[in-house]
């Protein structure tokens, strides 16, 4: 079975968040199940690309409206990832350092999708399933179904995974001419809300769509940035599969980014050693419980509530904890969090993206806070569990599916329901109190580190889905 994953991100080549983690891990686990899972992504000027060997496997050209562009498909040749990786290089379009946020982003991703399909058709590349991830690759199910140019692919299975439905890749109709000729009557399959909506189009045209947790599948019918009715309409095609984690990359006993590795039996001493080192660097007291937040500083993650919360908990429980934030995002939130540094001594933040620091924090912190408004799956809580860090989460999406409150049978985390200041203060106070009971903490460490959130189970669910769809194709 040949599955071609199309994605804007793939760890360790280029990652901005959970999408990169998933696309860098799932194919590896599918390989273990006998599936030839491959990844094709845009070419970025990144360290991984300059440090590894690639060879050109196809050169072609395509059209973005009146503009002809050349592209080059590069294959990674050392097989360092455990699956085939292809990069699409397009001069002056896909050969830049950043993944997102260029003004011509829609041109970049449309050209990427067209180049991939041109390559597959021209080389007759065996592909049984096109597995597209998020809106950047959302036009593929439409293009293979309805454009004459790619009609040799018309019966191919397409699966679309929604990592985040907030962002939909909206395009004005003036960009329709970027796409190859289609039967006019089919234009409606691109549309949602008076514009071309690649995420909505993918949901309409794919054979099946998946969400990265079962709860998120349900929630999308009620809150999905104006796609609620569509999710209601297409619900028979939807399936929720909880993300897993790559337990080779995220392994506290071997993680090369940690100063002190540890397992279930050595966590007590070595987590503290990592914490002392980290606290020294950030001017925090390692004797206090360390609470962290790692992630995008956006409202979706509840990051706009952090300042108020930290201020409030400082007033009430001054000297009982320390707080460290790693993240970047909206400038206003970044500035607020930086400002807090000037008057709180038990608090620090690092504004930016730093993979290594994130590993060190997972290994050092006692608690990780995730006050998300929306959380399709959330990987932070899964990494935290593996590193013996207790998650404090709002009960939503994947957080609901993966964290059980420690006061319930078999539980190990702290949950709260609403993004209300007092509910969050209470959750943090429960954490501070829990920290004082070191016997309970030791028990929870062992329980959390023994949980299996690896991809083994979820990769199998994707495999079953592919098999089912190929059978009816
Ligand atoms: P998202 O919605 O941002 O994709 P996820 O929880 O699915 O959220 O995944 C977030 C991933 O990105 C995790 O691997 C997390 O450790 C990582 N991450 C987020 N922000 C940063 C940062 N500033 N520095 C390093 N890693 C980060």
**pLDDT tens for residues 281-332?**
999 999 999 999 999 999 999 999 999 999 999 999 888 999 999 999 999 9
Q: Quick one: which H or E segment has residue 315?
A: helix 306-317
Cis bond before residue 12 (omega within 30° of 0): yes
Mode of pairing for the β-strands spanning 67-76 and 54-64: antiparallel
Angstrom distance (rounded) from CA 432 to CA 415: 14
Question: In this structure, are residues 201 and 138 in contact, taking their beta carbons and an 8 Å threshold?
Answer: yes
How far is Cα 398 from Cα 375, in angstroms, rounded to an integer? 6
Amino acid 127: pLDDT? 98
Is 378 close to ligand 1, i.e. is its CB under 6 Å away?
A: yes
Residues 128 and 207 in one domain: yes
Could you tell me the distance, in angstroms and rounded to a whole number, from the CA of residue 294 to the centre of ligand 1? Answer: 7
In ligand 1, which atom is closest to the CA atom of 300?
Answer: 2
Regarding an ipTM greater than 0.95, the answer is yes
Nearest CA to ligand 1 atom 22: 353
CB 296 near ligand 1, within 6 Å? yes
Residue 259 lies in a domain: no
Query: What range does the domain containing 58 cover?
Result: 2-246+456-472
pLDDT in tens, 423-437: 999 999 999 999 999
| Contact by Cβ (8 Å): 55, 77 | yes
Mutational pocket test of ligand 1: of 9, 11, 15, 17, the residue with most ligand atoms within 8 Å of the beta carbon: 17
For ligand 1, mutation pick of 9, 161, 294, 381 (most atoms within 8 Å of CB): 294
The tally of domains found in the chain comes to 2
**Whether residue 408 sits in one domain with residue 377:** yes
pLDDT over 90 at 184, yes or no? no
Residue 80 lies in a domain: yes
CA distance 444 to 395: 20
Ligand 1 mutation target, pool 379, 391, 403, most atoms within 8 A of CB: 379
Mean pLDDT of 235-264: 98
Is the separation of the CB atoms in 142 and 180 below 8 Å?
no
Q: Which two tokens stand for residue 81?
A: 């990832």
Structure tokens at 195: 């514009």
CATH number at residue 336: 3.40.50.2000
Q: Average pLDDT, stretch 365-380?
A: 98
Please check whether residues 226 and 331 belong to one and the same domain: no
Q: Report the chain's mean pLDDT, rounded to a whole number.
A: 97
> Between helices 455-472 and 18-31, what is the axis angle to 10°?
70
Local structure of 57: helix, strand or coil? strand
Distance CA 81, CA 201 (A): 31
Rounded to an integer, the average pLDDT of 329-338 is 98
- DSSP 8-state assignment for residue 278: H
pLDDT tens string 3-30? 999 999 999 999 999 999 999 999 999 9
Integer Cα distance of 161 and 176 in angstroms: 24
Q: Examine the domain organization and report whether 217 and 299 are in the same domain.
A: no
Q: Judge whether 258 lies within some domain.
A: no
For 268, the enclosing helix (H) or strand (E) is helix 267-282
Q: Kindly state whether residue 189 falls inside one of the protein's structural domains.
A: yes
Question: According to the annotation, is 237 in a ligand binding site?
Answer: no
Q: How far is the CA of 290 from the centre of ligand 1 (A)?
A: 19
Same domain flag for 336 and 385: yes
Q: Is residue 285 domain-resident?
A: yes
Same domain, residue pair 153 and 41: yes
How far apart CA 160 and CA 135 sit, in angstroms, is: 9
- Antiparallel, parallel or unpaired: β 390-394 and 36-42: unpaired
**Predicted pLDDT of residue 185:** 84
385-427, pLDDT tens digit by residue?
999 999 999 999 999 999 999 999 999 999 999 999 999 999 9
Using one digit for the tens of pLDDT, what is the confidence trace for 92-144? 999 999 999 999 999 999 999 999 999 999 999 999 999 999 999 999 999 99
Neighbours of 187 (CB within 10 A): 15
DSSP assignments along 175-209, one per residue: GGGGSPPB-GGGGGGGBSSSSB-HHHHHHHHSSEE
Q: Is 22 in the pocket of ligand 1 (CB under 6 A)?
A: no
End-to-end, the C-alpha distance of the chain in Å comes to 13
**Residue 86: inside a domain:** yes
């Amino acid at each position: 079975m040949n599955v071609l994953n199309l994605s804007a991100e793939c760890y360790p080549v280029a990652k901005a968040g959970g999408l990169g983690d998933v696309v860098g891990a799932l194919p590896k686990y599918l390989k273990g199940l006998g599936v030839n899972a491959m990844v094709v992504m845009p070419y970025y000027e990144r360290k991984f690309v300059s440090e590894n060997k690639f060879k050109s496997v196809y050169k072609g050209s395509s059209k973005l409206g009146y503009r002809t562009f050349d592209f080059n498909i590069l294959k990674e040749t050392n097989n360092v990832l455990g699956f085939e990786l292809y990069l699409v290089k397009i001069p002056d379009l896909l050969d830049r350092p950043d993944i997102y946020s260029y003004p011509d982003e829609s041109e970049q991703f449309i050209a990427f999708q067209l180049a991939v399909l041109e390559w597959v058709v021209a080389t007759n590349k065996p592909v049984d399933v096109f597995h597209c991830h998020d809106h950047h690759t959302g036009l593929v199910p439409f293009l293979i179904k309805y454009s004459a140019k790619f009609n040799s692919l018309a019966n191919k299975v397409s699966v679309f995974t929604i990592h985040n439905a907030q962002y939909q890749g909206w395009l004005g109709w003036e960009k329709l001419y970027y796409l190859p000729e289609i039967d006019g009557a089919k234009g409606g399959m691109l549309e949602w809300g008076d514009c071309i909506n690649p995420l909505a189009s993918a949901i309409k045209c794919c054979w099946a769509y998946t969400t990265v947790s079962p709860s998120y599948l349900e929630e999308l019918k009620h809150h999905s940035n104006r796609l609620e009715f569509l999710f209601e309409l297409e619900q028979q095609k939807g399936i929720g599969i909880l993300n897993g984690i790559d337990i080779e990359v995220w392994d506290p006993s071997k993680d090369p980014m940690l100063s002190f590795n540890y397992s279930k039996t050595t966590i007590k001493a070595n987590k503290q050693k990592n914490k002392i080192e980290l606290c020294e660097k950030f001017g925090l007291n390692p004797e206090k419980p360390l609470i962290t937040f790692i992630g995008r500083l956006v409202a979706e993650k509840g990051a706009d509530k952090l300042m108020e919360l930290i201020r409030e908990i400082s007033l009430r429980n001054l000297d009982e904890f320390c707080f460290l934030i790693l993240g970047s995002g909206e400038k206003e939130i970044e500035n607020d969090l930086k400002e807090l540094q000037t008057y709180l001594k038990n608090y620090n933040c690092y504004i930016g993206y730093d993979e290594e620091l994130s590993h060190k924090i997972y290994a050092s912190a006692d608690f990780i806070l995730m006050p998300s408004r929306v959380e399709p799956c959330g990987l932070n809580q899964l990494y935290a569990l593996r590193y013996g860090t207790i998650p404090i989460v709002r009960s939503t999406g994947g957080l609901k599916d993966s964290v059980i409150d420690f006061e319930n049978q078999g539980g190990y985390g702290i949950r709260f329901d609403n993004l209300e200041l007092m509910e969050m203060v209470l959750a943090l106070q429960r954490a501070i109190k829990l920290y004082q009971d070191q016997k309970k903490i030791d028990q929870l460490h062992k329980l959390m580190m023994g949980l299996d959130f690896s991809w083994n189970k979820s990769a199998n669910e994707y495999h079953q889905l592919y098999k089912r769809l190929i059978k009816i194709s």
